[in-house]
A = this chain, B = another copy of it.
């Protein structure tokens, strides 16, 4: 038929698995969207489980290229933090591979599978390490490991809620619209809170040591 059935299967499956999760997704729906038939899955990818693993890996690689680097020397850590927050927030909102992988991430949080290990290593850890570097630069030199982690997770946690918690948020506040403008204000807000938190930490540490 058309060209590159495996490719069409991967793309269709990424959509379906993101929308519905591994269990709820049926290979029937996937092959229907890919415009082929059921046996194609078995021929190109052994079975559903192996197929899912390949789909997620495919999504990781697709998103992996073109991840921005926030640790450019010309920016001070404050700027880097702001840019990170802005990027991280917007990623989930825009359509495309990134938001699909965010949905897969979500599905994996609800029902972890062996695939989660690779998602963490390929997508999450690299991003996390960048944030960690930024936070590290903003904290005193002798900061405890736990303090660094906590501040990272404070930033991530604030951002994540707007991806993960959307279904609840729209029910709590039906008038709330998470559009581009709101995202910008939100980025400023999270930056303000996070930086204030770090500075408060610095003061406290200073008192403890002085």
A207 at the interface (CB under 8 A from B): no
Contact of A168 among B124, B150, B204 (CB under 8 A): B124
Cβ contact within 8 Å between B149 and A158? no
Query: What are 13 A-B pairs at a CB distance below 8 A?
Result: A20-B111, A21-B23, A117-B171, A120-B172, A124-B168, A128-B172, A149-B173, A153-B169, A193-B200, A193-B201, A194-B197, A195-B200, A196-B199
A176 at the interface (CB under 8 A from B): yes
Could you tell me the distance in whole angstroms from the C-beta of A177 to the nearest C-beta in chain B? Answer: 11
Cβ contact within 8 Å between B192 and A193? no
A190 at the interface (CB under 8 A from B): yes
In the assembled complex, the Cα of A154 lies from the Cα of B158 at a distance in Å of: 5
Number of copies: 2
Contact of A197 among B111, B176, B197 (CB under 8 A): B197
In the assembled complex, the Cα of A124 lies from the Cα of B171 at a distance in Å of: 10
- Collect the chain B residues with CB atoms within 8 Å of residue A147's CB: 189
Cβ contact within 8 Å between B167 and A192? no
Residue of B nearest to A157 (CB): B161
In the assembled complex, the Cα of A21 lies from the Cα of B108 at a distance in Å of: 12
Please count how many residues in chain A sit with their CB below 8 Å of the partner chain's CB atoms: 56
Could you tell me the distance in whole angstroms from the C-beta of A122 to the nearest C-beta in chain B? Answer: 12
Could you tell me the distance in whole angstroms from the C-beta of A35 to the nearest C-beta in chain B? Answer: 25
A residues 102-151 touching B (CB-CB < 8 Å): 105-112, 116-117, 120-121, 124-125, 128, 146-147, 149-151
Cβ contact within 8 Å between A112 and B154? no
A24 at the interface (CB under 8 A from B): yes
